[in-house]
Amino acid sequence: MKPGEFAGKTAVITGAGRGIGEALAKTLCREGMHVVAGDIKKESVERWKESFPEQEILAVSCDVTKAEDCEALVQTALDRFGQLDYVISNAGILHSGAVDEIDPAVWKQVIEVNLYGTFHMIRAAAPVMKAQRHGVIVSMNSKSGKKGSYKSSAYAASKFGALGLVQSAALELAEYQVRVNAICPGNLMDSPLWTEGENALGIQYARNRGITTEECRAMYDRQVPLGRTCRYEDISNVLLFLLSDDSGYITGQALNVTGGFEMR
Ligand SMILES: NC(=O)c1ccc[n+]([C@@H]2O[C@H](COP(=O)([O-])OP(=O)(O)OC[C@H]3O[C@@H](n4cnc5c(N)ncnc54)[C@H](O)[C@@H]3O)[C@@H](O)[C@H]2O)c1
């Protein structure tokens, strides 16, 4: 990546209020980009954006299940910064439950956020990027987009679907020099999804197995060939590569960032 390559570029990111989205949005800020940070909880973006007083970060209320919210998010970037260089479709949720036990309404909600949400963001960005004849879209996927997930069928189905969407959009947008890729991280066991609240995955999974959260953490770490949990910087490094011109010949790909856990 060239020094200063991202300065003054405009990036839109969803689910920027906490976890991976927050970490990635901060990386985009540090690289000098104009960041339009959407989240269903706008106040959670406002909480962290104070730590970048020098920079104009737009916190926008955006529910990715609503096509019009995603269109408005893109329009906010255009109105304020006049261009749309990068879109990171990151917002996602996970509800687990056996296929014969999970409430169909909950199953549908996961599909609506993870799959429709990605579609709505790509749909909103595509006409703008086609007209510009440049742009990069990155979708936050998961290792569960490559392999089924025990008692998380809705999550895996949504992520498998999102990879089909990424590949199809990459085919459609290639002639406009717009690239579309996905990142498939492993488990980020220090992220709030795993650690915060009563329903944190780390607590749920430990409870299901009758072990402590520390034992659960060690068990997951042992499953990873590189022997540790995935970290935010593992993902942000790959994100910057995918946004940069260094990856200019890469489109329609789903890059595993799993410490060797997933190799397909
Ligand atoms: N944490 C992990 O271990 C992990 C691993 C692999 C992939 N991922 C993926 O990374 C992405 C981010 O996950 P995370 O761990 O940071 O989750 P998180 O729950 O910590 O954060 C998700 C953010 O998305 C927001 N959000 C939820 N529903 C939304 C909606 N309808 N519209 C807009 N925003 C919404 C939430 O308010 C929150 O700020 C997801 O797509 C997830 O599937 C996470």
Identify the pLDDT of residue 39.
Answer: 98
Answer whether 93 contacts ligand 1 (Cβ < 6 A).
Answer: yes
Instruction: Mark 136-155 as b/e (b = at least 16 C-beta within 10 Å).
Output: bbbbbbbbbbbeebeebbbb
Task: Give this prediction's pTM.
Answer: 0.98
**Residue-level pLDDT, tens digit, the chain, 264 residues:** 899 999 999 999 999 999 999 999 999 999 999 999 999 999 999 999 999 998 899 999 999 999 999 999 999 999 999 999 999 999 999 999 999 999 999 999 999 999 999 999 999 999 999 999 999 999 999 999 999 999 999 999 999 999 999 999 999 999 999 999 999 999 999 999 999 998 899 988 888 888 999 999 999 999 999 999 999 999 999 999 999 999 999 999 999 999 999 999
- Structural domain boundaries in the chain: 10-186+230-257, 188-229
Q: Which of 116, 155, 205, 220 is catalytic?
A: 155
Identify the pLDDT of residue 104.
Answer: 98
Given the DSSP bridges, would you call strands 10-13 and 34-39 parallel, antiparallel or unpaired? parallel
Answer whether 258 contacts ligand 1 (Cβ < 6 A).
Answer: no
Distance from residue 114's CA to the centre of ligand 1 (Å): 9
Fold for domain 10-186+230-257? Rossmann fold (3.40.50)
Whether 161 and 117 have beta carbons less than 8 Å apart is answered as no
In the residue annotation, 155 being an active-site residue is answered as yes
